[in-house]
Structure 1
Amino acid sequence: MKNRLKQCIKKDHVQLSVLFIKLAERLYDLRQAESYITPKEVQHMAQETLSVDIQIADKYLGPEIAQTLEEAAKQALEVCKNRTKYKNS
């Protein structure tokens, strides 16, 4: 029984680590969106973050991480909106 429990804990730890890395990459991408991603990609990434990633982060990693992702996604959408305005002017 102890070995099974250890295996489960290790497996869950690895899965949470992967999730943490994925969300850290997403946060980085959102924060750097203005410099290297097209507005359409930014919009898609930010919307996906708002609809999916925030709930996952809140459930498994905590509300602070979810809030940070939400703020970054909203800022990225604002950048996208401003770039679109500038392009159309």
Structure 2
Amino acid sequence: MMLMKLHLAAMASMVLLAGSVATATPANAGLPGTSTTECVPFKVDRHTIHQRCTVTHTAADGSVWVSVYYIDQNGVWYLPAD
């Protein structure tokens, strides 16, 4: 039983480590009609990590739109409170 708990704790810490170390590689946001999403992990409290995602969209006329959303530890998307 103790070995199973140790294995579960090790796997959980590896998942958190992989999620906090992984970074998105943004594509070239300057091309017309392209959309780029970049998500960065951040700590909400001691044991909770969420992601802040920024979407940059370049329209065909050259205008750029930026939107932000968050993803919680369960994978649920939510909008910023402001």
Shorter-chain TM-score bucket reads 0.3 to 0.5
The structure with higher relative contact order (CA 8 Å, sep 6+) is 1
Say which structure is richer in helix. 1
TM-score when normalising by structure 1: 0.41
TM-score when normalising by structure 2: 0.44
